[in-house]
Amino acid sequence: MKDSRGYRVFQIVNGVVLLGVVFVTLYPFLNIIAQSFSGETFIRAGQVNLVPLGFNTTTYQLVMGDETFWRSYGNTVLYTVVATAIAMLLTTTYAYVISKKGIRGRGLLIGIAVFTMFFNGGLIPNYVLISSLGLTNSIWAIVLPNAISVFNLLVMKAFFENLPSELEEAAQIDGLSTYGILLRIVLPLSKAVIATMVLFYAVTFWNSWFQAFLYLNQQELFPVTIYLRNLIAGASTASSLGSGGGDLAQVASNVKAVTMVLTVLPILCVYPFIQRYFVSGVMLGSVKG
């Protein structure tokens, strides 16, 4: 290809700029990883940047040897899987129905969903609801209340709207029921968007802590985010109370770093594999465009 000289220069500049972007985005991660392998004194002295100083893995052994950590970790996995499954079920069915242009009451159904983006009930009413449904201290308090994200719903709806309607019509003539069409025709065509939605939901549920904080009162049920949050935020809360009493929370920086690394790790491991679906998932949505 015969590019102009100016364009070749641009290519180089562009490459440098993008490398800069990569460095800037990557820096905090490398910093945390370096901290997680460093000695506490070096971190405190602010000397750890990209290379671990006072290299050691004792903190990893310490955190990984803590059964509380692993139990929380297991809970997180469980909650994420169940919550994502429920979310997918509800989102997919609702999205499929509101993608049908001919159905009566479609506007109303969309309205019911969109309205909730802006209005909600506030802390105490939500708590009273969950509590009177008897869901506190159970997995259901975590996996049910946020089962539908309206944004995700609208995305799926758009995706379904763009599927070729001929296939569905043909299936209908073949005598397939609505359920059959959804299961055998629509879903197989929607793998990409489903994979994307699964990742979006899973990341949200993996990282969420507020639901768990509100509705769980037993340590055996806590997800790892509660553990992490207590490590990170406990210190400042305690010292702000001022009156002392010898109960300050001081957690070593490298323990924090290790916990963060271990918490983010699974997502980082999974997502490069799903990542290719991001683009193709949203892409397919527009294929018919």
Partner 1 sequence: MSLHEPTTAPDGARATGPEAATSAALAAKARKGDRAPKGRAKLSWRKSIRRDWQLYTLVLLPLAFFVIFRYLPMAGNVIAFRRFQPGGSIFGEEWVGLRYVEMFLNDPTFWNVFGNTLTIGLLSLIFAFPAPIILALLLNEVRTRYFKRFVQTLSYLPHFLSIVIIAGMLLQLLSLEGTVNQIVRAVGAEPVPFMQRPEWFRAVYISSEVWQTVGWGTILYLAALTQIDQSLYEAARIDGANRWKQTLHVTLPGIRPTMITLLILNIGTFMAVGFEKILLIYNPLTYPTADVIATYLYRVGLESNNFSYAAAIGMFEAIIGLTLILSANAISRRVVGTSLW
Partner 2 sequence: MSRALLRAGGAGAVLVLGVGLTACGSSAAEEVDITEKTLGAMDSYSVGDQFTATEALSFPVLYSEHPNYPIKDDWLFWQELTERTNVTLEPTIVPMSDYEQKRSLLVGAGDAPVLLPKTYPGQETPFVSSGAVLPVSEYLDLMPNFTDKVERWGLEDNLDTLRQEDGDFYVLPGLHENPWQDYTIAVREDIMAELGLEAPSDWDEFRDVLRAVKAAYPDMYPLSDRFNVPTPGGNFLNIVAMTFGTSAGWGYDDATFDEASGEFEYTGATDEQRDFIEYVASLVDEGLIDPESFTQDDDTAIQKFTTGRSFAISTNAQTVVNDYRPTLDTNVPEAEVGKIPLPAGPAGDVISGATQLENGIMISSAATEREDFVAMMQFIDWLWYSDAGLEFAKWGVEGTTFTKDADGKRVLADDIDFIGLNPGAPKHLQKDFGFSNGVFAYGGPTELLQSTFSDEELEFQEVMADKESLPLAPPYPFSEGEREQATLLETPLKDYTSQMTLQFILGQRDLGEWDAYLAELEGKGASTYIDLVNGAADRFAEANG
Contact call for residues 79 and 142 (beta carbons, < 8 A): yes
Spatial CA neighbour of 204 closest among 68, 117, 88: 88
Binding mask 161-200 for partner 2 (x = CB under 8 A): ----------------------------------------
Length of the chain counted residue by residue? 289
**How many Å apart are CA 143 and CA 147, to the nearest integer?**
7
Binding mask 50-89 for partner 2 (x = CB under 8 A): ------------------x---------------------
How deeply is 61 buried, as exposed, middle or buried, from its count of CB atoms within 10 A (0-12, 13-18, 19+)? exposed
According to the binding rule CB under 8 A, does residue 242 interact with partner 1? Answer: no
According to the binding rule CB under 8 A, does residue 187 interact with partner 1? Answer: no
- Give the count of residues interacting with partner 1 (CB under 8 A): 105
According to the binding rule CB under 8 A, does residue 204 interact with partner 1? Answer: yes
According to the binding rule CB under 8 A, does residue 248 interact with partner 2? Answer: yes
Query: 15 or 134: whose CB is closer to partner 2?
Result: 134
Of 10, 47, 61, 68, the one binding partner 1 by CB under 8 A: 10
Given partner 2, partner 1, none, residue 273, with its beta carbon under 5 to 8 Å by kind, binds: none
Widest pairwise Cα distance in the chain: 77
**How many Å apart are CA 140 and CA 134, to the nearest integer?**
9
Of 9, 89, 167, 241, the one binding partner 2 by CB under 8 A: 241
In this structure, the dihedral spanned by the alpha carbons of residues 262, 264, 265 and 267, taken in order and rounded to 10 degrees, is 150
